Amino acid sequence: MYNMQNKRAAIPKELRALQRPWEIKKEIPQVEKWVRTKTKPTTGTYDDRPIAHYTDVRGRLCGMHLDEKTTDSLKKIAETEYFAWAVMNDPETANAYEQLKGFLDTHNIRLDLKFEGRYTNPTCKPKGLYELILKIMSILPYHHLSTDKFRKLLLGGMPDHYTLEPCYYDVRTKTVNMHETTILGAKRNFIGLFLHEIGHIFEDILPPNDKTTLASIAQMLNPKFAIDYLEGVEKRRFVQDNGNAGQFIAETYLHYVTQGEVFTKFIEDSEAEQREMWKEVNGIYQRNFDGIVYV
Ligand SMILES: [Zn+2]
């Protein structure tokens, strides 16, 4: 929760971690690539060789032979980078679910669960997921959530067959879809993607003149600000640079909420003309965040 008086909200530590480069064991590129782009591995042997399994974007189980050293390293890292699953009747998780549901009820958002892929067993639950979502949503302005543009949060399910998008904001059904692979993927990616999707709702509720201003400034910003998640900084910058103002607005939403001083320092360090444009961008966000500054 943020302090209404001074309008400063503390960035939770899980989100603050996105201010620094992602620490994944870089000496084994295979491990880094895995954690960035694949779901939590389960390991075993096949043909007497170590194998790691993951779930692809359609929810199918895939396997890959890896050498023993890579498998071990991946197994160790998997413990910290992903949500824990298969928690049987865990009272903490049940309680967290009720709390999140209660919070969403007060904003008139329905919570739908649809865990139907790799982990069909209804007794398997992602541990820490509901707490994390509640922590993120609690620091957002009331009107970003309690809007007729946001009616449902779907956790789980499989992506659309055509787009295969693991998550998206569906403007027709007013739903933020966080499909199963994003929940089975690294927590850091989940945070980035979840705030990016809420950023699309923000895009939708912005006053039209602010949206137009952001769209025109976005074209002139070079370089864009970017943070390290999924395939890394360069890829995230590319996503914002594809000429689609919506992607810039959504990704900047993530930056505004998680980056604090890192973002303001980037703005201060930009050359004069760029700095003025960034300040205008930042001002539009602050105004539409009811004045809240994340520190
Ligand atoms: Zn997007």
Model confidence over 65-111: pLDDT tens digits?
Answer: 999 999 999 999 999 999 988 777 788 988 999 999 999 999 999 99
Distance 192 CA to ligand 1 centre (A): 11
pTM, two decimals, is 0.95
pLDDT of residue 24: 87
pLDDT tier for residue 152 given thresholds of 50, 70 and 90: very high
Ligand 1 midpoint to CA 88 (Å)? 34
Does residue 151 lie in a domain region? yes
Asked if the structure places residue 289 within a domain, the reply is no
Residues 100 and 65 in one domain: no
pLDDT at residue number 161: 78
Selected residue with higher pLDDT from 291 and 61: 291
163 Cβ partners below 8 Å, 6+ apart? none
Classify residue 143: in a domain, yes or no.
yes
5 pLDDT tier (thresholds 50, 70, 90): low
pLDDT above 90 coverage of the chain, percent:
72
pLDDT tens sequence across 153-185: 999 988 887 888 899 999 999 999 999 899 999
Note whether 93 and 69 are same-domain residues. no
DSSP state of 260: H
pLDDT band at 213 (very low <50, low <70, confident <90, very high): very high
Strands 167-170 and 8-9: unpaired
Average pLDDT of the residues in 230-248: 92
Residues 30 and 113 in one domain: no
Which residues have CB under 8 Å from 72's CB, separation 6+? Answer: none
Per-residue confidence (pLDDT) for residue 119, from 0 to 100 = 53
Separation of CA 156 and ligand 1 centre (Å): 18
Confirm whether 209 is domain-assigned: no
How many Å lie between the centroid of ligand 1 and the Cα of residue 222? Answer: 19
pLDDT in tens, 254-278: 999 999 999 999 999 999 999 999 9
Are residue 71 and residue 100 in the same domain, yes or no?
Answer: no
**How much distance in Å is there from the Cα of 167 to the middle of ligand 1?**
9
Residue 123 confidence (pLDDT): 63
What pLDDT, on the 0 to 100 scale, is given for residue 267? 98
For ligand 1, the distance from its centroid to the CA atom of residue 235, given in whole angstroms, is 13
Distance from Cα 199 to the centre of ligand 1, integer Å: 8
Percent of the chain with pLDDT over 70: 95
Measured CA to CA, the distance from residue 77 to residue 35 in angstroms comes to 8
CA 219 / ligand 1 centre spacing (Å): 17
In a domain, 64, yes or no: yes
* DSSP assigned state of 11: P
pLDDT at 126: 86
Identify the domain boundary among 184, 213, 239. Answer: 184
**pLDDT, average across residues 24-47:** 89
pLDDT at position 164, please? Answer: 84
**235 in a domain, yes or no?**
no
Q: Are residues 30 and 100 in the same domain?
A: no
pLDDT interval class at 2 (50, 70, 90): low
pLDDT band for 58, please (50, 70, 90 cuts): confident
Distance CA(204)–CA(292), nearest Å, equals 19
Domain coverage including residue 171 = 86-184
Q: What is the DSSP letter of 17?
A: G
Residue 94 lies in a domain: yes
Say if residue 98 is in the same domain as residue 152.
yes
Report how many domains make up the chain: 2
* pLDDT value of residue 3: 55
105 and 174 assigned to the same domain: yes
Last residue of a domain, one of 184, 202, 220: 184
212 C-alpha to ligand 1 centroid (Å): 17
Which residue type is seen at 211? K
What local confidence, expressed as pLDDT, does residue 4 receive? 55
Domain check: are 44 and 122 in the same one?
A: no
Q: Are residues 37 and 94 in the same domain?
A: no
pLDDT band for position 11 (50/70/90)? very high
Same domain, 58 and 122: no
Q: Which of 58, 81, 104 is the last residue of a domain?
A: 81
Distance 170 CA to ligand 1 centre (A): 11
Q: Are residues 103 and 138 in the same domain?
A: yes
Q: What is the DSSP string of 36-70?
A: HHSPPPEEEEETTEEEEEEE-TTS-EEEEE--HHH
Q: Does residue 97 fall inside a structural domain?
A: yes
pLDDT of residue 59: 77
Residue 186: closest CA among 62, 282, 74: 74
One domain, residues 77 and 146 = no
Helices (H), 107-259: 129-138, 142-145, 180-184, 187-205, 208-220, 233-240, 245-258
Q: Tell me the CA–centroid distance for residue 52 and ligand 1, in Å.
A: 30
